[in-house]
Amino acid sequence: MAGGAMVDGKGGARAELYEHKITSYFVFACIFAALGGSLFGYDLGVSGGVTSMDYFLKEFFPKIYRRKQEHLKETDYCKYDNQILTLFTSSLYFAALVSTFFASHVTRNKGRRASILCGAVSFFAGAFMNAAAQNIAMLIIGRCLLGVGIGFGNHAVPLYLSEMAPTKIRGKVNQLFQLTTCLGVLIANFINNATEKHSWGWRLSLGLAAIPATLMFVGGWFLPETPNSLVEQGRLEEGRRVLEKVRGTKNVEAEFQDLLEASEVAKAIKHPFRNLLQRKNRPQLIVGALGIPGFQLLTGMNSVLFYAPVIFQSLGFGSGASLWSSTITSGTLVVATFISMAFADKFGRRALFLEAGVEMTICMVAVAVTLALKFGQGVELPKGIGIFLVIIICIFFLAYGRSWGPLGWLVPSELFPLETRSAGQSIVVCVNMFFTALVAQFFLVSLCHLKYGIFLLFGGLIVVMSIFIYMFLPETKQVPIEDTYLLWQNHWFWKSYSSSYTNMQFLAGFREIGIFYKVFMKLWCT
């Protein structure tokens, strides 16, 4: 079966000797580290709500405000099509894209904790700048500072959680990042609902981003560095001491030996980004660094999440109703994350990816068909159709929130060996932020020109990415993080990239690709 693999060899056998208990020290470290997700989530939730607030539009985008008032009873797809308005959202993600390469250097040489602290400081500064903004330039500068904070946080936090977590519950622990992200979105929506009627409401909404940044910074001072990072830095005694404290047992010899061996390999790598391009690391690069984070944004999820209030207003919902509708849908994400935490380590990552892909495709098609039949002729949507759309989008969020949302961060953080882990995570965040910025900048103009077709496009992309997961991703559940490299050696396609395989096996891999290509083309042509 595509993607199937068994872990064997020295690392896989030693993993059976790992021991752990859930200690208060471990719980404290993971909860405070996971607050990094709340920075990302709060911004996702607050930016879309603020861009639909009348007082915000009146002060910074008066043309859009006048267009909105003049056509208040007219529902069309182009009401909010303005590239400067979308730049307010997307500028953050362009800044995050650039900053993640600096984060890689800090994370590898100074540790995961140092990057978390840097992210908190920059995000706090950005929140202050946005709350005090007097012109668009101040808004954009503030957004860039927020982006630097997210670049550092999104780089370090998933790595921190995966490295701190015991193998058997790594999925649950890593998804704390997604949980705090979703909670950040939900809290931001409630705050937008409370502040939208006040002239200063948008300032409060943007400024309150300083609260999670402060919590993350204060907690960060007390966070232990991960044992993996300490060993990588040559602080062996401290690394073993932290590992014993986190695992709640003195019997950590097997796991510590795996860390030492991984560290020896890592020390030989002077240029991790260059090493990531080597043939033996091609599977991690293509699947973990490029494929999954890129596809995560092409599900259409962030498009809907960014502009949920704007979309609902465009579809005929009033200002207050649109904010509450987006609050309901973002609340669905929180529920979905708990579902994923419960089942990711039980049923595996691939099963959740594939099952949710079917649901998400159906939802995107349903939204497109509904809009094609009932929307776009200047007539406000009937209440029943509006409720139906909210329900469909909730189902979509429920599917995404237990699959591509949390697993899009979990799986890449599991795939890279220690020597390229920081560099790999930089590429993950870079690709994620690039597509996030692209979607943020061009979704509204695409909605304007493609109309309901944009949802059909997302549906088609979800089909493609589901096939990608089925064909190329091995199952990583309950595999020790320092042993996941073994998965590629038995994979039907990626095994040809292992130096331990012969040229005949390499050619056999190409024959399998040829067969797959012929079948695919035959299905496509028919």
Give the DSSP per-residue string, 142-154. HHHHHHHHHHHHH
**Mean pLDDT, residues 448-459 taken together:** 82
Percent of the chain with pLDDT over 90: 17
**Mean pLDDT, residues 35-42 taken together:** 86
pLDDT at 468: 95
DSSP string, 327-392: HHHHHHHHHHHHHHHHHHHHH-HHHHHHHHHHHHHHHHHHHHHHHHHHSSSS-PPPHHHHHHHHHH
Least confident of 197-206, 319-328, 439-448: 319-328
Of residues 499 and 36, the one with the higher pLDDT is 36
pLDDT at 1: 38
Residue type, 241: R
pLDDT at 515: 47
Question: Is the full-model pTM beyond 0.75?
Answer: no
We find that the CATH architecture of domain 25-224+269-478 is: Up-down Bundle (1.20)
- Contacts made by residues 269-276, CB under 8 angstroms, sequence distance 24+: 269/419, 269/420, 272/104, 272/108, 272/419, 272/420, 272/422, 272/423, 273/104, 273/423, 273/426, 275/419, 275/420, 275/423, 276/420, 276/423, 276/424, 276/427
Compute the Cα dihedral for 437, 440, 441, 446 and give only its sign: positive
- Cα–Cα distance measured from residue 318 to residue 365, given in angstroms and rounded to the nearest whole number: 25
Of residues 31 and 506, the one with the higher pLDDT is 31
Give domain limits for the chain: 25-224+269-478
**Mean pLDDT, residues 373-395 taken together:** 73
- Give 518's pLDDT tier (boundaries 50, 70, 90): low
pLDDT at 83: 63
- Give 79's pLDDT tier (boundaries 50, 70, 90): low
The two structure tokens encoding residue 376: 């776009």
- Name the average pLDDT for the chain: 80
- Give 452's pLDDT tier (boundaries 50, 70, 90): confident
The two structure tokens encoding residue 211: 């609260």
pLDDT at 375 over 80: no
**Mean pLDDT, residues 353-365 taken together:** 93
Reported as a single tens digit per residue, the pLDDT across 269-327 is 667 778 888 888 889 999 988 999 989 888 888 667 655 655 666 555 555 566 666 67
Percent of the chain with pLDDT over 70: 79
The two structure tokens encoding residue 260: 């030492």
Query: Could you identify the residue written with the tokens 């490295």?
Result: 163
**Mean pLDDT, residues 141-145 taken together:** 91
The two structure tokens encoding residue 497: 């990239």
pLDDT at 81: 56
DSSP string, 255-321: HHHHHHHHHHHHHT-S-HHHHHTSGGGHHIIIIIIIIHHHHHHHTSHHHHHHTHHHHHHHTT--HHH
pLDDT at 449: 74
